Amino acid sequence: MLETGTKAPDFTLTDKDGSEVSLSDFRGKKVVLYFYPRDNTPGCTRQACAFASAYEEFKTIGAAVIGISKDSVSSHQRFAEKHSLPFVLLSDPELKAIQAYDVWKEKKNYGKVSMGVVRSTYIIDENGVIEKTMPKVKPDTNAAEILAYLKGNGNE
């Protein structure tokens, strides 16, 4: 994970609608940047749906939500439509942001070792600086923990 207090690496990736989106587009807003392994898997779906359920609260406190995985644009589009996901989903098949944010790691599953995205979240402040890092988050509680953190900081 990158360190808190460091400048968040900028990136430009394609969203579920085929538009290019850069982190710098969100300057002046808090950004909840979450990395997840794969569209339509049980944990990733629960996590995305939790963010969708809390989306209006995130908007109310002025925070943008961005999900990133290495899935394709068309996969993101189907995932967003199937689960009514109102926030930005970015496709990173070349692992540009995933590696820049140090979430591409060796994973062990049933004794098999492979490389993959470790479910992680960054909160980036209005000036593009990493305010909080959340490694190895739980899909069911991640959105609620972030909301509690943001509200506890006195953000409007």
- Which pLDDT band holds residue 155 (cuts at 50, 70, 90)? very low
Asked whether the beta carbons of 105 and 83 are under 8 A apart, the reply is no
Tell me, what's the pLDDT at 25? 97
Q: Is residue 16 pLDDT above 80, yes or no? A: yes
Average pLDDT of the residues in 78-96: 97
Tell me, what's the pLDDT at 138? 95
Which positions ≥6 away from 20 have C-beta within 8 Å?
12, 13, 14
- Which pLDDT band holds residue 1 (cuts at 50, 70, 90)? confident
Give the CATH architecture of domain 30-151.
3-Layer(aba) Sandwich (3.40)
Instruction: Say what the pTM is.
Output: 0.94
Tell me, what's the pLDDT at 153? 57
Average pLDDT of the residues in 115-123: 95
Tell me, what's the pLDDT at 109? 81
Average pLDDT of the residues in 24-44: 97
Which positions ≥6 away from 97 have C-beta within 8 Å?
9, 11, 13, 35, 68, 90
- Domain ranges across the chain: 30-151
Q: What does the alpha-carbon distance between residue 61 and residue 51 come to, in Å, rounded to a whole number?
A: 14
Q: What does the alpha-carbon distance between residue 55 and residue 49 come to, in Å, rounded to a whole number?
A: 9
CA-to-CA dists, residue 145 to 15, 42, 84, 138, 142, angstroms: 25, 19, 22, 10, 5
The span from the first CA to the last CA of the chain, in angstroms, equals 27
Average pLDDT of the residues in 80-104: 97
Task: Give the residue numbers annotated as catalytic, written as ranges.
Answer: 44
Angle at which helices 42-53 and 73-83 cross, to 10°: 60
Q: Is residue 154 pLDDT above 70, yes or no? A: no
Give the tens place of pLDDT for each residue, 58-77: 999 999 999 999 999 999 99
What does the CA dihedral 147, 43, 79, 111 come to, rounded to 10 degrees? 140
Tell me, what's the pLDDT at 88? 97
Share of the chain above pLDDT 90, in %: 92
3-state secondary structure of 40: coil
Structure tokens at 102: 């140090």
Average pLDDT of the residues in 75-102: 97
